[in-house]
Chains A and B, each alone.
Chain A
Amino acid sequence: MENVIYGINGPVVTVKDTSSFSMMEMVYVGDEKLVGEIIGINSKFTTVQVYEETTGLKPGDPIVGTGAPMNVTLGPGIIDNIFDGIERPLKAIEESSGSFIKRGASVSSLDEEKKWQVKITVNVGDVVDGGQIYATLPETPIIEHRCLVPYGLKGKVIFSSGDGEYKINDKVITVEGEDGKTHDLTLCQKWPIRTPRPVKNRLSATVPLITGQRIIDTLFPISKGGTAAIPGGFGTGKTMTQHQLAKWCDADIIVYVGCGERGNEMSQVLYEFAELIDPKSNRPMTDRTVLIANTSNMPVAAREASIYTGITLAEYYRDMGYHVAIMADSTSRWAEALREISGRLEEMPAEEGFPAYLPSRLSEFYERAGRASVLSGGEGSVSIIGAVSPQGADFSEPVTQNTKRFTRCFWALDKALAYARHYPAINWITSYSEYFTDLDPWFIENLGNDFMEYRSKINSLLQEENRLMEIVKLIGTDVLPDDQKLVIETSRVIRVGFLQQNAFHAEDTFVPLEKQKLMMKTILYLHSRAKHLVANAIPISKITELGLFDKLTKMKYDIPNNKLEMFNDLIKEIDDKLATIS
């Protein structure tokens, strides 16, 4: 019996009296074959959320099941591509339907005509297991794509087409499974987006994700396979911070999910990343980037799916043995999509109209992050950095609060800092990272014990400044004793010269850890020398007159990243100038 539409309410469509669908099954709705997903079933009604505009549908239009859950195609051609929330390539849609997205665009996710130079890595007679690599090919000049045996399949290779040029749907090997059935493997496979891909075993978070952003790397580091939340009101620089991380962090592959955000932002990413050359590989950033763009005016149900599509693509590359970082901008828009659909289903709302299952959905998403031994051998990771857009910049709202529970880094963006154009506007008092203890051994091994020492000193100076500022707000700096004035002066250097980082400055946009360490060292050196002088009753005003503090606030620009020996000159200058007054 053919199933037909009964009711329509925005993106939610109902079917009456049917038992032919299963939960989360992907369906085609109407004559234009709009993509939808089954989200509710009872004896009377089956509920479908439709991923496209429903204008023009009518009761009686057909609904056809696909028999499989909502899934994505995994294979070569994902990198350097831009997809919508359900993995439809936007460039191909542009070619077929012009500048405006028409409904029911049926284009395949990956280029089916392109030929890839494939190297088969298994031989006839080999026994292969799920997750194992059977073929490799250069997807971009810097990323080798590794085709993985579908999970759950184990058996003997009985045919191999040999190395050569193949399209993604060409058969390259045939595996005889343990059950005796034969399986033809092409260069691509399907995976349901809401199911995490399996790994051999999870590893602990002991390697940092280096971002080149000073406040993150030194004060609030994130590990490879870690999770971080960036909450902030509008205009505080969430997107800028995400862009900076996407550009500079030392992951192999970036998945950038623009979830319910601005269209111009996506065109900015496209334009900037294509121009920007990755210093490590000397190739454009797009060679390691996948974009998923579901802008705020695109259908809301696809926005809900875009996060899962993104994480599934990320997991796929992790399974090949890559370190992947996924930027989700913004998870609040995703939560709002949940709320909107929940409202249409007339579910009982919990806090602020959000559905009661918001926390479990958020935790399901963030738990898909992690560093792991993967089934193909080797190690990979997925790090999740999610932006949160709290209503009215109020961090007590449900999305921020629940995200806080499931992420281990919290980079709180501050409106007052953003107003003063202090970027990144990460507040050093309210932010935190729980990865310290996990990462400490790595920092000690690679940067030495002194790095840790500098970090804790910087931290305590900032804390002390914060306390002193309470007093300063009431009575001004003039009445403070000189040693406390020094703390304020040094903290100013830390804030302006160290924590503040200029994304548009060629030297300052990315700073290697070694330079970060030397900057801290120099600031603390000046502080301890000055402290000594102040203790010997030399007035602080005489020290500040030397201009050393101002000099240090500009060392981030003055000392290029490849001339770190210049810090020695700076230390010498400090010694020389202080000698004139002591």
Chain B
Amino acid sequence: MIIDYVGVEEINGSLIVLDGVKDAIFEEMVDIRLDNGSFRHGRIVQMEGERIVVQVFEGTRQISLENTRTRLTARPMEMPLSPEIIGRVFNGAGRPIDGMGEIFPQTHRNVNGTPINPVSRIYPKNYINTGISTIDTLTTLIRGQKLPIFSGSGMKHNELAVQIVRQAKISGANDKNFGVVFAAMGVKNDVAEYFRKSFEDSGVLQRVVMFLNLSNDPIIERTLTPRCALTVAEYLAFELNMHILVIMTDMTSYAEALREFSSSKGEIPGRKGYPGYLYSDLASLYERAGMVKGSTGSVTQIPILTMPNDDITHPVPDLTGYITEGQIVLDRSLQGQGLYPPVDVLPSLSRLMKDGIGEGFTRGDHSPLANQLFASYSKVIDARSLASVIGEEELSPVDKKYIQFGKLFESLFVNQGPNANRSIEQSLDLGWDLLSTLPKAELDRVDDVILNKYYKDGIDPSQIG
């Protein structure tokens, strides 16, 4: 027997409250029909006896206390899945919007996923060559990693993400088993279009699954968008053994949607009004990256988030940094100098690189070289702050060398342009060339064997690059 519940008890933001509902299940989906014939979808988020609270994805506009008929579906929020899903475009709640009809599903999966058993994880060790010097050398991306880009409004994070997709060489991946899942959350139409066009230009569009929740789409759908996308990614990776790169942009919009939803539920806010469970909620997304035993596929995540006011201590980048395995931080002043990609190397980090580089993966000198570049570049910052007080002329000879090294490092190593695809050897050699402009005694992170092998005495700075 199917029961329609007529009308609602209460409406508050995107939530409606119904009373006298029998046999409802926690977190099940409900269909809501308005008297004007339109349909909405919702999910039960709280229950007290026969009183249920339903979150309406499309919003509660036009809903009155009497004009709805609500029907329980007895199913949790699920995503229909089949291999034909590749190349399709969905809205934020996982319904096709490319005019090619519904998915003919082979299986359904709960969008919330289930946690991967830590014992079943394969520890990620295979590096992904992105052709970008700063990333490959200093914050190496590893297959199965989650490595976000911390950016700000107006910075070139989208270009960088596209370049990574275009240039990424994943070991074990070929045209057949490589795919991209793209989730847009609250981004402008232009941004979504930019990604679509870039995917098309680089010839991967047929291998992309897109989820689009644009900035004027309902915010409740936005809280589902990454879940739908990751459910698809997990299906493709762990059941069809594909290597999936997931790009999620913009996580800050996602977190804001969550905040809006939380406050309409009347929850006690944490820092900056975000709900206290923001960490757990973000973790339930980011932790869906990785590789599992029994499958040859992988899910690698590149979430993009814009730091409000470029503030890395804002709750969204802060909590993200605690969950993800490192971060790539973009810097506005580097971009202002016309450098691309404007990667601020010092706060950038890849936690998994230590086991994925070196002999057998990249080159034996990779790890000490990266350490030395970080250490030397951090001295550049010290020297610059000193120069800003006493003037560059007054610096000691060694500090002057550092200033020179800093300039070269930024203009040659960091800066490479959106089309340059450098091999790992090129990047590492360039790193050594730059370090060779510093006195040998300053290179204290490298042991003498490696230093003697790669240090170039008397290199001419103007000949590098």
Residues in chain A within 8 A of chain B (CB atoms): 6-10, 14, 16, 53-60, 82, 90-91, 93-94, 98-102, 233-235, 258, 260, 262-264, 266-268, 270-271, 293, 295-298, 300, 333, 336-337, 339-340, 343, 346, 349, 352-353, 389, 391-394, 416, 419-422, 472-478, 496, 504, 547, 550, 553-554, 557
In whole angstroms, how far apart are the Cα atoms of A151 and B101 in the complex? 67
Given A94-B117, A343-B268 in contact, is the A8-B122 Cβ separation under 8 Å?
no
Q: Which residue from chain A places its CB closest to the CB of B358 in the assembled complex?
A: A504
Given A53-B112, A100-B116, A340-B280 in contact, is the A296-B394 Cβ separation under 8 Å?
no
Per DSSP, are chain B's interface residues mostly helix, strand or loop, or mixed?
A: mixed
Given A7-B49, A297-B283, A336-B279 in contact, is the A99-B238 Cβ separation under 8 Å?
yes
Question: Could you say which residues of chain A place their CB within 8 Å of the CB of B293?
Answer: 99
**Contacting pair A55 B110 (CB below 8 A):** yes
**Contacting pair A8 B318 (CB below 8 A):** no
In whole angstroms, how far apart are the Cα atoms of A528 and B371 in the complex? 31
Question: Could you say which residues of chain A place their CB within 8 Å of the CB of B112?
Answer: 53, 55
Per DSSP, are chain A's interface residues mostly helix, strand or loop, or mixed?
A: mixed
Checking B48, B122, B313 against A394 with a beta-carbon cut-off of 8 angstroms, the contacting residue is: B313
Given A8-B47, A59-B49 in contact, is the A267-B269 Cβ separation under 8 Å?
no
Instruction: Tell me the minimal C-beta distance from B350 to chain A in angstroms.
Output: 10
**Contacting pair B280 A550 (CB below 8 A):** no
Given A235-B349, A293-B118, A298-B115 in contact, is the A59-B50 Cβ separation under 8 Å?
yes
Checking A264, A340, A389, A547 against B290 with a beta-carbon cut-off of 8 angstroms, the contacting residue is: A264
**Contacting pair B25 A262 (CB below 8 A):** no
Q: Does B326 contact A (CB under 8 A)?
A: yes
Given A263-B287, A419-B346 in contact, is the A336-B120 Cβ separation under 8 Å?
no
Q: Which residue from chain A places its CB closest to the CB of B397 in the assembled complex?
A: A478
Contact with A along B362-373 (1 / 0, CB 8 A): 000001000100
Instruction: Tell me the minimal C-beta distance from B269 to chain A in angstroms.
Output: 7
Checking A55, A82, A300 against B280 with a beta-carbon cut-off of 8 angstroms, the contacting residue is: A300
Checking B49, B268, B292 against A99 with a beta-carbon cut-off of 8 angstroms, the contacting residue is: B292
Question: Could you say which residues of chain A place their CB within 8 Å of the CB of B283?
Answer: 260, 295-297
Checking B26, B144, B267, B354 against A56 with a beta-carbon cut-off of 8 angstroms, the contacting residue is: B26
In whole angstroms, how far apart are the Cα atoms of A353 and B283 in the complex? 20
In whole angstroms, how far apart are the Cα atoms of A94 and B124 in the complex? 19
**Contacting pair A263 B121 (CB below 8 A):** yes
Question: Could you say which residues of chain A place their CB within 8 Å of the CB of B394?
Answer: 476, 478
Interface residues on B, range: 35 or more
Checking A98, A258, A298, A394 against B120 with a beta-carbon cut-off of 8 angstroms, the contacting residue is: A98
Question: Could you say which residues of chain B place their CB within 8 Å of the CB of A90?
Answer: 117-119
Interface residues of B in 382-406 (CB under 8 A from A): 385-386, 389-390, 394-396, 399
**Contacting pair B390 A94 (CB below 8 A):** no
Question: Could you say which residues of chain A place their CB within 8 Å of the CB of B145?
Answer: 264
Instruction: Tell me the minimal C-beta distance from A501 to chain B in angstroms.
Output: 12
In whole angstroms, how far apart are the Cα atoms of A547 and B351 in the complex? 34
**Contacting pair A59 B24 (CB below 8 A):** yes
Question: Could you say which residues of chain B place their CB within 8 Å of the CB of A391?
Answer: 271, 313, 315, 318-319
Checking A264, A419, A478, A504 against B347 with a beta-carbon cut-off of 8 angstroms, the contacting residue is: A419
For A58, A346, A416, the residue with the greatest tally of chain B CB atoms inside 10 Å of its CB is A58
For B112, B270, B367, B394, the residue with the greatest tally of chain A CB atoms inside 10 Å of its CB is B270
**Contacting pair B321 A235 (CB below 8 A):** yes
In whole angstroms, how far apart are the Cα atoms of A416 and B346 in the complex? 9
Checking B24, B279, B354 against A504 with a beta-carbon cut-off of 8 angstroms, the contacting residue is: B354
Q: Does B23 contact A (CB under 8 A)?
A: yes
In whole angstroms, how far apart are the Cα atoms of A295 and B113 in the complex? 15
Given A234-B318, A263-B290 in contact, is the A475-B389 Cβ separation under 8 Å?
yes
**Contacting pair A264 B288 (CB below 8 A):** no
For B28, B277, B295, B395, the residue with the greatest tally of chain A CB atoms inside 10 Å of its CB is B277
**Contacting pair B119 A94 (CB below 8 A):** yes
Interface residues of B in 264-284 (CB under 8 A from A): 267-271, 275-277, 279-280, 283-284
8 A-B pairs (CB sep. < 8 Å): A56-B76, A57-B26, A90-B118, A101-B114, A296-B280, A333-B279, A392-B313, A419-B346
In whole angstroms, how far apart are the Cα atoms of A7 and B47 in the complex? 5
Q: Does B102 contact A (CB under 8 A)?
A: no
Question: Could you say which residues of chain A place their CB within 8 Å of the CB of B113?
Answer: 100
Question: Could you say which residues of chain B place their CB within 8 Å of the CB of A392?
Answer: 313-315, 318
Stretch at the interface among B83-91, B210-218, B441-449: B441-449
Q: Which residue from chain B places its CB closest to the CB of A338 in the assembled complex?
A: B276
Question: Could you say which residues of chain A place their CB within 8 Å of the CB of B256?
Answer: none
Question: Could you say which residues of chain A place their CB within 8 Å of the CB of B267?
Answer: 343
Instruction: Tell me the minimal C-beta distance from A393 to chain B in angstroms.
Output: 7
Instruction: Tell me the minimal C-beta distance from B37 to chain A in angstroms.
Output: 30
Q: Does B204 contact A (CB under 8 A)?
A: no
Q: Which residue from chain A places its CB closest to the CB of B374 in the assembled complex?
A: A421
Instruction: Tell me the minimal C-beta distance from B348 to chain A in angstroms.
Output: 9
Given A54-B26, A340-B276 in contact, is the A7-B48 Cβ separation under 8 Å?
yes
Given A59-B24, A235-B327, A300-B280 in contact, is the A476-B396 Cβ separation under 8 Å?
yes
**Contacting pair A264 B318 (CB below 8 A):** no
Instruction: Tell me the minimal C-beta distance from A63 to chain B in angstroms.
Output: 14
Q: Does B194 contact A (CB under 8 A)?
A: no
Instruction: Tell me the minimal C-beta distance from A54 to chain B in angstroms.
Output: 6
**Contacting pair A340 B123 (CB below 8 A):** no
In whole angstroms, how far apart are the Cα atoms of A100 and B26 in the complex? 21
Question: Could you say which residues of chain A place their CB within 8 Å of the CB of B121?
Answer: 263-264, 266-267
Q: Which residue from chain B places its CB closest to the CB of A54 in the assembled complex?
A: B26
For B113, B267, B448, the residue with the greatest tally of chain A CB atoms inside 10 Å of its CB is B267
Instruction: Tell me the minimal C-beta distance from B26 to chain A in angstroms.
Output: 4
Instruction: Tell me the minimal C-beta distance from A109 to chain B in angstroms.
Output: 15
Question: Could you say which residues of chain A place their CB within 8 Å of the CB of B67?
Answer: none
**Contacting pair A57 B25 (CB below 8 A):** yes
Question: Could you say which residues of chain A place their CB within 8 Å of the CB of B349?
Answer: 235
Given A102-B114, A295-B118, A297-B288 in contact, is the A56-B321 Cβ separation under 8 Å?
no
**Contacting pair A296 B279 (CB below 8 A):** yes
Question: Could you say which residues of chain A place their CB within 8 Å of the CB of B325?
Answer: 262, 264
In whole angstroms, how far apart are the Cα atoms of A504 and B355 in the complex? 10
**Contacting pair B123 A268 (CB below 8 A):** yes
Instruction: Tell me the minimal C-beta distance from B94 to chain A in angstroms.
Output: 17
Q: Which residue from chain A places its CB closest to the CB of B377 in the assembled complex?
A: A420
Closest 4 CB pairs of A and B: A392-B313, A296-B283, A234-B321, A420-B378
Q: Does B352 contact A (CB under 8 A)?
A: yes
Instruction: Tell me the minimal C-beta distance from A505 to chain B in angstroms.
Output: 8
**Contacting pair A478 B110 (CB below 8 A):** no
**Contacting pair B322 A234 (CB below 8 A):** yes
**Contacting pair A264 B367 (CB below 8 A):** no
Q: Does B263 contact A (CB under 8 A)?
A: no
In whole angstroms, how far apart are the Cα atoms of A451 and B325 in the complex? 39
Question: Could you say which residues of chain B place their CB within 8 Å of the CB of A476?
Answer: 386, 390, 394-396, 399
**Contacting pair A557 B447 (CB below 8 A):** yes
Question: Could you say which residues of chain B place their CB within 8 Å of the CB of A419?
Answer: 346-347, 374, 378
Q: Does B27 contact A (CB under 8 A)?
A: yes
